[in-house]
A and B are shown apart, each in its own frame.
Chain A
């Protein structure tokens, strides 16, 4: 496959075979995946074959091998021109995302309370396999409220304020959720997990603002140098995974009716206006609401810990998904068109003055939250005018090595000691889980962010460094 370097941060794959649009990879040469170990460039090509795709099949600087879609993939299809929605283009963990809260606490005040605070967070933040969550739902009727109303219901029932909603993407909930399209199996899996991190690369991290690149924007976001923050990375748990599983399989069965063939089964899709797509979009929206409620409840639990240990509070900076499909209007070839924008491991990055921004962010753009790998920096970016890939950017460091390779090459004991030596308290990680998430298994988040900036997808506002981590 030929990659044509258009700029140091933008590579093109020309149309060939069944591709309907070219591929565009936003990355530096150093960040490009190694085709021998990672097939994500092939996946960019495969996504370019989807019916109704417009512009290009895009990949973000943190791209890596997924199924069907690459992780870090963005694809938009024209709703009025046979464009499809593909559950695989959203991913299993629907509305997996990041929530950033800022504490009314300075970094130098953290040291004396570090152990107590981290112990309390380690105790009160549910994590790992199976059930166990902050919020025990009162059966299916209450689950239906969560699926329909997301964070809005969580705030009413569990506490929180207006800022928890207007600083959350979609005001805390999307309105077109359809719990009827969520299977009993998905409900079963989700009932005991509202307010839990889960496992894998999910975490709650206590961080400090180490550097501010744009004072004005940082201030509007609610961030200042040396401020203590809490970053939460998690999604829709078993419920979202089951919804994706159910609807991929239903769409695969329906595809022959629409004359659709795809090069990878996980790209199963259906026209956005078909009954199968409407069913999926209704269920996906329900899972997105569940994920927002999940992060809201976890943020609230962290706030309670901060209040109890430090007497200070946490305030929401922003909450944004990086696995979602949205119906959005964009200009394509000089025409305003209704598109179904899939972002799988990619973050929406609205520029200043975008109408979907809340008033207090209108002048500065949307906060884009980019977690680094464990023990490394995280970044807060903002959207830029003319941002590429339908206003999308990266979502994290991007995995480089398999869990197996990581676990073989890193000793958990050494890693934990190294983190502690650097002043980073670790809670809740199994030895194997810790080794699998070693920073060496990931790309360098600073390089990823530099590529996103170089490619004109977003710009950096602040860098955060870790003080303590509760590992999922």
Chain B
């Protein structure tokens, strides 16, 4: 978790059964990258991840017509990689493309990591938001675990 006053960061918000995250950054893409970090923080220890050997770099071109679509697409991709490749991103860089966004991630294997119970499985449309206030982008999302 990053400090609330910094230019970019993320934190967990209270939710009874699932995980609710907030992320922010100076650009939409930075905000999306922080959202990825927030979801990973929800179930993995950052120190464990830093020490894990990288499996590979991944790049995904994701279609998105709107900012909300971009947020959903990026978080969906994290969940998909976890379920199909047993992999979790330790870094994520997001860039804008003509069709949506490109997510470049460095992945590590979750095998052997001491993961928490709150493994993300889907992104809810309830309470989903993303937008800019001046030069600060922020987003919220509720993740089913």
Contact = CB atoms under 8 A, between A and B. Distances in A.
Interface of A: 37-38, 64-68, 71, 92-93, 128-132, 185, 188-189, 192-193, 198-201, 237-238, 241-242, 244-245, 248-249, 252, 264-266, 268, 399-405, 407, 429-434, 436-437, 471-472
B12 A130 contact: no
B125 interface: yes
A192 B82 CA distance: 12
A182 to B, nearest CB: 15
**Nearest 7 interchain pairs by C-beta:** A433-B117, A432-B116, A265-B125, A67-B126, A130-B86, A238-B83, A67-B124
Interface stretch (B15-23, B53-61, B131-139): B15-23
A268 B125 contact: yes
B16 A130 contact: no
Nearest to B123: A245
Contact of A193 (B12, B83, B124): B83
B117 A405 contact: no
A265 B126 contact: yes
Q: Number of contact residues on B: which range applies?
A: 35 or more
B80 A189 contact: yes
Given A129-B110, A200-B145, A265-B125, 8 more contacts: A67-B125, A128-B119, A189-B84, A198-B121, A238-B83, A244-B122, A252-B125, A403-B117
Contact of B80 (A188, A407, A432): A188
Contacts of A399: 16-17
Interface in B62-108: 72, 76, 79-80, 82-86
Given A129-B82, A189-B84, A265-B126, A404 B119 contact: no
Nearest to A43: B126
Contact of B115 (A128, A192, A264, A403): A128
Contacts of A245: 76, 122-123
Contacts of A200: 117-119, 145
B119 A129 contact: yes
Interface of B: 12, 14-19, 43, 45, 72, 76, 79-80, 82-86, 110-111, 114-119, 121-128, 142, 144-145
Contacts of A67: 18, 124-127, 142, 144
B35 to A, nearest CB: 16
27 contacts: A37-B14, A37-B16, A67-B126, A92-B124, A93-B144, A130-B83, A130-B85, A130-B111, A131-B86, A199-B145, A200-B145, A238-B79, A241-B79, A241-B122, A242-B122, A245-B76, A264-B125, A265-B125, A265-B128, A399-B16, A401-B16, A404-B14, A429-B117, A430-B114, A433-B117, A436-B118, A471-B117
A431 B44 CA distance: 12
Contacts of A244: 122
A400 B127 CA distance: 20
Given A129-B110, A265-B128, A430-B114, A64 B16 contact: yes
Contacts of B126: 67-68, 264-266
B144 A92 contact: yes
Contacts of B45: 432
Contact of B117 (A93, A185, A401, A430): A430
Nearest to B121: A241
The interface centre, meaning the residue of A130, A131, A245, A248 with most chain B CB atoms within 10 A of its CB, is A130
Contacts of A471: 117
Contact of A201 (B15, B86, B117, B121): B117
Nearest to A268: B125
A436 B15 contact: no
Given A128-B119, A265-B125, A399-B17, A404 B114 contact: no
B140 to A, nearest CB: 13
Contacts of A65: 15-17
A66 B142 CA distance: 10
A128 B123 CA distance: 19
Nearest to A265: B125
Contacts of B145: 199-200, 403
Contacts of B125: 67, 248-249, 252, 264-266, 268
Nearest to B116: A432
Given A65-B17, A71-B17, A238 B121 contact: yes
Contacts of B17: 64-66, 71, 399, 402
Nearest to A64: B16
B121 A433 contact: no
B83 A189 contact: yes
A203 to B, nearest CB: 10
Contacts of A198: 119, 121
